[in-house]
């Protein structure tokens, strides 16, 4: 396999700018809120630029792992600080950069405990970045937990609706995931007999017996699956998303759930391909149930954020369905859908956050006619909702299309049912749009102002990305394919 070392440690620079940002924020006195926000914007902008550079300079024709950085960390256990990017992680890195930056800008109006919020937010994102770029199993686990532990405070302090319950439920569920992941990782380490946690050494075929792969795959799939919102382990996700403050909801639904799907792909599927083939049917069934269940439950919600939360369950089911097809197309579609869904939910939460900050309600029956009061804010939501319905011309269309084509070939029945569920998704998205933005106005909100240009920037970026990828999907597909095609052709059959 090709491995290109990095001339400049871009990946570490990304991590470093998160950590440095956090440290600088912690050094600023708590009452100087404006400098804290500017520093946050500066450092998150820097990470966005760096991740964009990494994505653009990833050599698609070469494929394999690039930007490799390796430092021995704990030699006696074969642990090294080992970063590299391949076609699966490059899009996720970019996604994180975009959501991170726009998440900071979205929270520009925050007034309560600003310093702590941004410090914890930077720590959270550092964990996410670390997980996407790490190719050492030990570090993958460490980053997973680093991204987990600021979560409780972020939700419980700055959240809304049943925030303490939501925060506790989310934290415990995600830690339960890590309770399965850690034994599985150590098991792989012991079973391979290589005495290293390096993902790249372990993924060479022949080190793991079929039995070990089947066992470890199940643990890893369930563990990461909790974070990916796989039905029936999804219940933390709507509750947590509703409770979280806007910026955290964005990172959470936009990026953190992708960590789960990415973990399934990176650790479970790539290390235990035989386990993957063995358990693929189970994955497909759970994913299909998730798609239908999320859509049907979403139909009955009256809280805007709950609607988005359940639509996430449904959309992440699409990702799971793509992963379960055991085809290169399925993987392509799944990774594309991860990216598209990340941007889309970030935009949805960001728009709802704006509306909630003004109206102080998220209940659909209390809203109504908002498109006349705040047309711009409404437009952002409607664009994201259209993307969620899979309308051609926006990013999600391609992800869903590719996944369903692959799924039809492998599991015709499940594919059919899942496509039917998409109609329900479209129905509930349209229902929300109609009831919230059209229909009779609530005169309580008639005086509210629309999105200012400053606050519009993050939403515009997100909407632009959705549109750009809708028109030019090859921008992502080419990169993803450089990883999925070699991986599938190397698969034992």
Partner 1 sequence: MNLKMAGPEIYYLAASLWFLLATFFEGGFSLREAPPGEAQDSDAAYLRRQHFNALCLALAGILVCLASVYSQGQLFIRAYKLDLFSQVFKVILSLALFLIVCICGEIPDIGRRRSNEFYFLLFTCTLGLMLLVSADHLLSIYLSLEVSSYSLYILVALRRYQGFGLEAGIKYFLIGTFASAVMLFGMALLYSMTGTAYLDDMAKVLPGIIGRPGIVIGLLFTLGGFFFKLAVFPFHLWAPDTYQGASNQVAAYIATASKVAAIAVILRVLAFAGQGSIYLVHVLAVLSVVSMTLGNLAAIVQKDIKRLLAFSTIAHSGYVLIGILVLTPAGYSGAIYYALAILIMKFTAFMVITELASDGRNLRVEDLAGLHRRSPILALALMVSLFSLAGIPPTIGFTGKFLVFVAAIEKGYIALVIIAMINVVISLYYYLLMIRAAYLLEPAEELPPLGVSIPKKLLAGASTLMIVLAGVYPPWLIQLAQSAAQSLIP
- Closest to partner 1 by CB, 57 vs 72, is 72
In the bound complex, what is the minimum distance in angstroms from residue 280's beta carbon to partner 1?
Answer: 24
In the bound complex, what is the minimum distance in angstroms from residue 234's beta carbon to partner 1?
Answer: 18
- Closest to partner 1 by CB, 13 vs 222, is 222
In the bound complex, what is the minimum distance in angstroms from residue 233's beta carbon to partner 1?
Answer: 13
In the bound complex, what is the minimum distance in angstroms from residue 145's beta carbon to partner 1?
Answer: 5
- Closest to partner 1 by CB, 101 vs 138, is 138
In the bound complex, what is the minimum distance in angstroms from residue 156's beta carbon to partner 1?
Answer: 6
- Closest to partner 1 by CB, 182 vs 270, is 182
Residue pair 68/3 in contact by the 8 Å Cβ criterion: yes
- Closest to partner 1 by CB, 140 vs 200, is 140
- Closest to partner 1 by CB, 153 vs 491, is 153
In the bound complex, what is the minimum distance in angstroms from residue 179's beta carbon to partner 1?
Answer: 4
In the bound complex, what is the minimum distance in angstroms from residue 74's beta carbon to partner 1?
Answer: 5
User: For residue 268, how far is the Cα from the chain centroid?
Assistant: 17
- Closest to partner 1 by CB, 116 vs 329, is 116
In the bound complex, what is the minimum distance in angstroms from residue 273's beta carbon to partner 1?
Answer: 21
- Closest to partner 1 by CB, 148 vs 406, is 148
In the bound complex, what is the minimum distance in angstroms from residue 114's beta carbon to partner 1?
Answer: 14
Residue pair 150/247 in contact by the 8 Å Cβ criterion: no
Residue pair 187/216 in contact by the 8 Å Cβ criterion: yes
In the bound complex, what is the minimum distance in angstroms from residue 158's beta carbon to partner 1?
Answer: 11
Residues 6+ apart with CB under 8 A from 379: 371
In the bound complex, what is the minimum distance in angstroms from residue 135's beta carbon to partner 1?
Answer: 17
Q: What's the per-residue H, E or C state across the chain? A: CCEEECCCCHHHHHHHHHHHHHHHHHHCCCCCHHHHHHHHHHHHHHHHHHHHHHHHHCCCCCCCEEEEEEEEEEHHHCEEEEEEECCCHHHHHHHHHHHHHHHHHHHHHCCCCHHHHHHHHHHHHHHHHHHHHECEHHHHHHHHHHCCHHHHHHHHHHCCCCHHHHHHHHHHHHHHHHHHHHHHHHHHHHHHCCCCCEHHHHCCCCCCCHHHHHHHHHHHHHHHHHHHCCCCCCCHHHHHHHHCCHHHHHHHHHHHHHHHHHHHHHHHHHHCHHHHHHHHHHHHHHHHHHHHHHHHHHHCCCEHHHHHHHHHHHHHHHHHHHHHCCCHHHHHHHHHHHHHHHHHHHHHHHHHHHHHHHHCCCEHHHCCCHHHHCHHHHHHHHHHHHHHHCCCCCHHHHHHHHHHHHHHHHCHHHHHHHHHHHHHHHHHHHHHHHHHHCCCCCHHHCCCCCCCHHHHHHHHHHHHHHHHHHHCCHHHHHHHHHHHHHHHHCCCC
- Closest to partner 1 by CB, 129 vs 306, is 129
- Closest to partner 1 by CB, 39 vs 156, is 156
Residues of this chain that bind partner 1 (CB under 8 A) = 73-77, 116, 138, 141-142, 145-146, 148-149, 152-153, 156-157, 164, 168, 171-172, 175-176, 178-180, 182-183, 186-187, 189-190
Sign of the dihedral through C-alpha 386, 392, 393, 396:
positive
State how beta strands 79-85 and 3-5 pair.
unpaired
- Closest to partner 1 by CB, 146 vs 344, is 146
């Amino acid at each position: 396999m090709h491995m290109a070392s990095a001339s400049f440690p871009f990946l570490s620079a990304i991590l470093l700018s998160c950590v440095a940002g956090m440290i600088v924020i912690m050094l600023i006195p708590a009452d100087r809120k404006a400098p804290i926000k500017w520093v946050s914007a500066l450092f998150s902008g820097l990470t966005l630029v760096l991740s964009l550079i990494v994505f653009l300079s990833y050599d698609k024709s070469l494929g394999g792992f690039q930007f490799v950085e390796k430092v021995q960390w704990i030699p006696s256990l074969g642990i090294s600080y080992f970063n590299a990017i391949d076609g699966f992680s490059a899009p996720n890195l970019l996604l994180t950069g975009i959501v991170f930056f726009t998440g900071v800008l979205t929270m520009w109006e925050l007034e309560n405990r600003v310093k702590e919020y941004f410090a914890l937010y930077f720590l959270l994102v550092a964990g996410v970045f670390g997980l996407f770029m790490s190719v050492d199993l030990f570090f993958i686990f460490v980053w997973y937990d680093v991204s987990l532990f600021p979560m409780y405070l972020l939700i419980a302090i700055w959240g809304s609706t049943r925030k303490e319950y939501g925060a506790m439920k989310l934290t415990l569920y995600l830690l339960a995931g890590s309770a399965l992941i850690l034994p599985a990782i150590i098991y792989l380490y012991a079973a391979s007999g290589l005495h290293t946690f390096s993902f790249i050494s372990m993924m060479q075929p022949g080190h793991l017996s079929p039995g070990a792969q089947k066992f470890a795959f199940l643990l890893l799939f369930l563990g990461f699956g909790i974070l990916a919102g796989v039905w029936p382990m999804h219940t933390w996700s709507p509750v947590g998303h509703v409770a979280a403050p806007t910026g955290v909801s964005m990172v959470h639904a936009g990026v953190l759930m992708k960590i789960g799907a990415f973990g399934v792909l990176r650790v479970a599927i790539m290390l235990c391909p035989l386990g993957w083939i063995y358990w693929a049917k189970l994955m497909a069934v759970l994913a299909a149930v998730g798609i239908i269940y999320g859509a049907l439950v979403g139909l009955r919600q009256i809280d805007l954020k709950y609607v988005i939360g359940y639509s996430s369950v449904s959309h992440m089911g699409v990702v799971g369905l793509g992963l379960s097809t055991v085809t290169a197309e399925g993987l392509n579609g799944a990774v594309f859908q991860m990216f598209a869904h990340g941007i889309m939910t970030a935009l949805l939460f960001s728009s709802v956050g704006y509306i909630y900050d003004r109206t102080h309600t998220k209940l659909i029956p209390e809203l109504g006619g908002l498109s006349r009061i705040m047309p711009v804010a409404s437009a952002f939501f409607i664009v994201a909702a259209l993307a969620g319905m899979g309308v051609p011309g926006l990013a999600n269309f391609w992800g869903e299309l590719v996944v369903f084509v692959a799924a039809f070939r492998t599991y015709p029945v499940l594919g059919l049912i899942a496509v039917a569920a998409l109609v329900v998704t479209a129905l509930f998205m349209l229902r929300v749009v109609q009831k919230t933005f059209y229909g009779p106005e609530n005169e309580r909100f008639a005086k509210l102002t629309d999105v200012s240009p400053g606050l519009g920037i993050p939403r515009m970026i997100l909407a632009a990305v959705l549109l750009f990828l809708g028109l030019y999907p090859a921008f992502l597909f080419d990169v993803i394919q450089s990883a999925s095609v070699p991986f599938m052709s190397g698969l034992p059959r």
